[in-house]
């Protein structure tokens, strides 16, 4: 099988590509820079890509000829590719089967997911059996990893925590059906939550958002996870912090598609957003709360779908390989794929 690995530095996809190569597949890397520089053509690969053919260039500028000439069976795409590549990637996905890989959340550092399988709007997370077994050891390890490291005595005794996101991130542009701006989301939420303060922590890369007057933007030293632990409840669109909040057994109210939404009170499942906002306020004020589905069950399922990126297991390779089973060819010889 021919596999085109579309990636950019850092080269975290290399261990998976090497595992696929060792299984006999023809794997070629297509690198694009994160900056605006242009380097086009085949080059000697860096040492850690030794043994691979590596193509360098901005995908929007190369007219995709290099990939078409390779004629891959599968595109292996690092999720969150450089912004200028989006149009080209979307075009390629109409011709070739594509598998996205992204960072996992439990914890994020060093762990990967197959993004297509765990897409924020995926049916899989909603279809997990009510009898799915809890990974007790995994849950204990998560709680130890996410142990709070700080407490801010200057914060209110009761507050809702809103972990904000980047408005241009695909989690907002593609997986937030109702709110495309975190500032507008906060403005709408504030109309209905008036009895408890909403504490906002901005995304560390956000330098542009203009928040409504009176917004309580946290400027202290606590991390987002420490704020989760200190808060009464967490409300947001689909930040990864909402998933991690389940480790703290916190009530979570979300308004976008996300990988843990089966254990959130969801504004996607309940379109009466005013009622969801009011419920979040009531819980913050002390009303009892039970998640729609057990949080530890959801976390256990998510743990089963991630892997340490330096040591991809065989099931990941098999998942990628099996994408080829439903293929057919266009009249021009390029592959398209039916939905599974």
Q: What is the CATH number of domain 124-301?
A: 3.40.50
pLDDT tens column, 268-310 = 989 999 999 999 999 999 999 999 999 999 999 999 888 888 8
The H or E element containing residue 188 is helix 182-192
Residue pointed to by tokens 């011709």? 95
**Which tokens go with 81?**
């590719």
Cα angle, residue 174 at apex, residues 171 and 179 outer, rounded to 5°: 80
Q: Looking at the predicted structure, is the pLDDT value of residue 334 above 70? A: no
Q: What is the CATH number of domain 2-118+307-337?
A: 3.40.50
Q: Residue 47: count other Cβ atoms within 10 Å of its Cβ.
A: 6
Residue 175, Cα to own-chain centre: how many angstroms?
10
pLDDT tens column, 16-58 = 999 999 999 999 988 776 554 555 555 555 556 777 777 777 6
Average pLDDT over residues 227-233: 97
CATH 3.40.50 in the chain is located at: 2-118+307-337, 124-301
């Amino acid at each position: 099988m021919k596999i085109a690995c579309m990636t950019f530095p850092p080269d975290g996809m290399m261990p998976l590509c090497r595992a696929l190569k060792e299984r006999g597949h023809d794997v070629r890397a297509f690198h694009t820079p994160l900056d605006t520089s242009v380097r086009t053509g085949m080059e000697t690969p860096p040492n850690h890509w030794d043994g691979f053919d590596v193509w360098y260039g901005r995908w929007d500028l190369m007219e995709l000829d290099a990939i078409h000439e390779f004629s891959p069976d599968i595109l292996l795409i690092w999720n969150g590719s450089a912004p200028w590549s989006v149009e080209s990637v979307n075009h390629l996905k109409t011709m070739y089967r594509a598998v996205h890989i992204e960072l996992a959340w439990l914890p994020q550092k060093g762990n990967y997911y197959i993004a297509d399988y765990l897409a924020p709007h995926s049916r899989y997370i909603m279809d997990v059996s009510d009898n799915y077994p809890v990974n007790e050891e995994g849950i204990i390890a998560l709680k130890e990893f996410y142990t709070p490291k700080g407490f801010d005595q200057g914060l209110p005794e009761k507050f809702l925590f809103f972990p904000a996101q980047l408005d241009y991130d695909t989690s907002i542009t593609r997986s937030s059906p109702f709110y495309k701006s975190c500032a507008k989301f906060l403005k709408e939420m504030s109309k209905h939550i008036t009895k408890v303060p909403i504490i906002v922590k901005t995304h560390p890369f956000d330098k542009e958002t203009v928040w409504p007057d009176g917004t309580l933007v946290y400027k202290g030293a606590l991390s987002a996870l420490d704020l989760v632990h200190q808060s009464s409840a967490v409300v947001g669109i689909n930040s990864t912090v909402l998933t991690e909040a389940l480790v703290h057994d916190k009530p979570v109210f979300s308004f976008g598609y996300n990988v843990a939404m089966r254990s959130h009170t969801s504004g996607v499942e309940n379109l009466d957003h005013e009622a969801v906002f009011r419920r979040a306020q009531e819980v913050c004020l002390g009303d009892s709360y039970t998640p729609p589905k057990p949080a530890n069950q959801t976390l256990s399922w998510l743990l089963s779908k991630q892997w340490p990126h330096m040591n991809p297991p065989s099931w990941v390779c098999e998942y990628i390989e099996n994408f080829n089973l439903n293929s057919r060819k266009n009249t021009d010889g390029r592959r398209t794929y039916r939905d599974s």
